[in-house]
Amino acid sequence: MPQFFTSRTFSLFLLCALLLSGCRKKTSTSIQDAYTVVRGNLDITVLESGTLDTVVSNDIVQKIRQTAKILEIVDEGTTITAEDVQNGRVLVRFETKALEDQLYERSTAFENAQASSTQAEENLAIQISDNESSIRSAELAVLYAENDFKKLVGDIMAEALVKSGKPEDVASLLSDPTLGGQAKQDLTTLNSDIELANIRLNRSLQKLEYTKKLFDKQFVSKNELETDELEVETQKKTLVTAQGKLNIFCRYDFITNFHKAWATVVDSKEKLIRAKAVARSRLVSAEAHLRSQKQSLSRAQTRLDEAKEALDNCVIRATAPGLVVYETPPRWMNTGPIRPGVEIRHQQTIIKLPDLDQMAVQVNIHESQIDLIALGMPAVITVDAIPSKSFTGKVSKKALLPSSQNRWLAPDVKVYETMITFDQSDPNLRPGMNATVEVFAEKLTDVVYIPSQSVRTDAKGNQFCFSLDGRPMPIQTGKRNQSFVVVLSGVKPGDRVLMAPPELPDNNGETEQTETEELEKTLLQANGDEERSRKAAAEEQAKEQAKAKEDAAAAAAAAEQAKAQENAASATSDSDSASTTAADTTATQ
């Protein structure tokens, strides 16, 4: 760049470029294409893009209750025929090493559980037999104790005492007329011994008196007299002994025997109660153990069946004819496309076998337009792979809630999944193809409409369109489609409005003010640069030259851009504006 191209020169050049750009902006506003307002019919449509899918599809899912690695899989795009289904063609094969080890472990666990269950059944039978034996022994002990007690006091007294309980004065039972049994017999025997001893004593006393009389008359010897005296003493001692035995029986033997017999009855009954309780407890424990072992056996059987089923599910065979289409895993799984070596989770779809005779387009309708969509609405479908042909269809499905997947990916955007079904099938249609759907929501008749690009909205929400002289006209709009908007008031048929109107006056004034401020800042900066360049040392001249080169390149780029804008304005203007453009170009040169 020449040395005389200083910062001041560059500032002047930049100022001229900005002024020229402003001139072109105003000129281009005056030469915009115009649109003649008309009254007629307008179709309200919803235009969205989506992908082709089938209405009916046979999904091949992973049924193993854990993640499994694909060992081999049929190629995508393969056509499965009815013969393949009949022959059981393999679609997917998973790795089986871990499942085979699992099957062996569960088979062993099942056999152990089966043995434990059988042992628990035998233990229950043994426990039932032990309970019956112990209860019988306890019942016999009660029977023996009651018999011994009845033997002691008799049946009548024993039954009465069992009902009323043990008396406080046991010795008084000896005088009870209901006393029977061994005690009654012993008491009778002892009383009889006393009576017999009294009789013998009386007889011996009578004999002694008679012997004494004979002895006095010298009819018997002294030896006989002494013998009778000894007999009397003997009978006395016998009477005392009999009375002592009766006293001991009443005071000690009967009471002791009664307490023993009573305690034996009570203890035997308590032992019977304990034996029954222990038997119930052991029976419940044995039954619970058996149930636990049976549940363990059932769980082991279930786990064994699951292992066998999982091993069987490692090979997935064709169950219906169709075209093999790999399912695309969600992005959050980070597993990549379906291929050998990829791990598949339980119930994850691997392959779709779609029915190509029933095709549809899956689209996401924005929440601002979902109210326009209703079931049964007609639609025109354009498939990207077949651009020369259009298809007709109908809205067959409309979601009630926003897409959950889209809410996770883009929380601020609410879209509703919608399905449009083809009216006719085509052999060239394939799932996954991109398509554009235009749903005809409503047909408006006898309405005034203008292009959507002709409408401008200010900061307060007021809407305007512009006449050919650039004058804003306030309007009120209604429904709209992708290209046109209905005008309820503000314009009438025959009016001409700008197709691409300028900014509203307030915005334009602010823009010009901003441009002026930026221009003043640029001039001030240029003057400052020139002043600093005069005072700079010789060693800084090289830096200034490099900066001047960069400024020149920027100016050239600005000039090139202005020229491109000028060419675009010239191409879109009519013959009158073409002459004006030529004059401007001449003035610029």
Q: Is residue 318 part of a domain?
A: yes
The residue written with tokens 């009870």 in the block is 176
Residues 238 and 367 in one domain: no
Q: Is residue 115 part of a domain?
A: no
Output the CA–CA distances (angstroms, integers) from residue 138 to 133, 352, 486, in the order listed.
9, 74, 104
Residue 117's pLDDT is what? Answer: 95
Residues 405 and 425 in one domain: yes
Q: Is residue 178 part of a domain?
A: yes
The β-bridge relationship of strands 68-73 and 343-344 is: antiparallel
Residues 256 and 243 in one domain: yes
Alpha helices (runs of H) in 31-96, residue ranges in sequence order = 82-87
The enclosing domain of 460 has a CATH number of 2.40.30.170
Reduce the DSSP state of residue 5 to 3 states and report it.
coil
Residues 340 and 421 in one domain: no
Task: pLDDT band for 367, please (50, 70, 90 cuts).
Answer: confident
Q: What share of the chain is helix, strand, coil (3-state, %, to 5)?
A: 55, 20, 25
CB 325 within 8 A of CB 76: yes
Burial class (CB in 10 A: 0-12, 13-18, 19+), 386: middle
Task: pLDDT band for 575, please (50, 70, 90 cuts).
Answer: very low
* CA-based nearest residue to 298, from 456, 114, 466, 446: 114
Comparing 159-163, 351-355, 524-528, which segment has the lowest mean pLDDT? 524-528
Q: Is residue 567 part of a domain?
A: no
Residues 243 and 330 in one domain: no
Q: Is residue 545 part of a domain?
A: no
195 pLDDT more than 70: yes
556 pLDDT more than 90: no
Q: Is residue 416 part of a domain?
A: yes
Residues 66 and 145 in one domain: no
The β-bridge relationship of strands 378-383 and 386-398 is: antiparallel
Residues 346 and 363 in one domain: no
Q: Which residues contact 372 (CB under 8 A, 6 or more apart)?
A: 44, 46, 439, 441, 442
Residue 560's pLDDT is what? Answer: 56
Residue 193's pLDDT is what? Answer: 92
State the total domains in the chain.
Answer: 3
Q: Which two tokens stand for residue 171?
A: 């010795």
Q: How do residues 52-97 score in pLDDT, each as one tens digit?
A: 988 887 888 989 888 899 999 999 888 888 898 899 999 999 999 9
563 pLDDT more than 60: no
Residues 390 and 363 in one domain: yes
Mean pLDDT of the chain: 81
At residue 377's C-alpha, the angle toward residues 373 and 378, to 5°, is 130
Residue 588's pLDDT is what? Answer: 35
Residues 280 and 340 in one domain: no
CB 465 within 8 A of CB 499: no
The residue out of 438, 468, 498 marking a domain boundary is 498
Residues 379 and 400 in one domain: yes
Reduce the DSSP state of residue 356 to 3 states and report it.
coil
Residue 284's pLDDT is what? Answer: 95
141 pLDDT more than 90: yes
Residues 411 and 459 in one domain: yes
Residue 432's pLDDT is what? Answer: 83
* CA-based nearest residue to 30, from 493, 574, 450, 515: 574
Residue numbers of the domain that contains 181: 126-294
Residues 143 and 249 in one domain: yes
CB 60 within 8 A of CB 352: yes
Residue 402's pLDDT is what? Answer: 86
Q: Is residue 64 part of a domain?
A: yes
CB 18 within 8 A of CB 515: yes
Q: Is residue 68 part of a domain?
A: yes
pTM for the full predicted model: 0.50
Residue 468's pLDDT is what? Answer: 87
Residue 326's pLDDT is what? Answer: 87
The larger pLDDT score, comparing residue 335 to residue 271, is at 271
The enclosing domain of 331 has a CATH number of 2.40.50
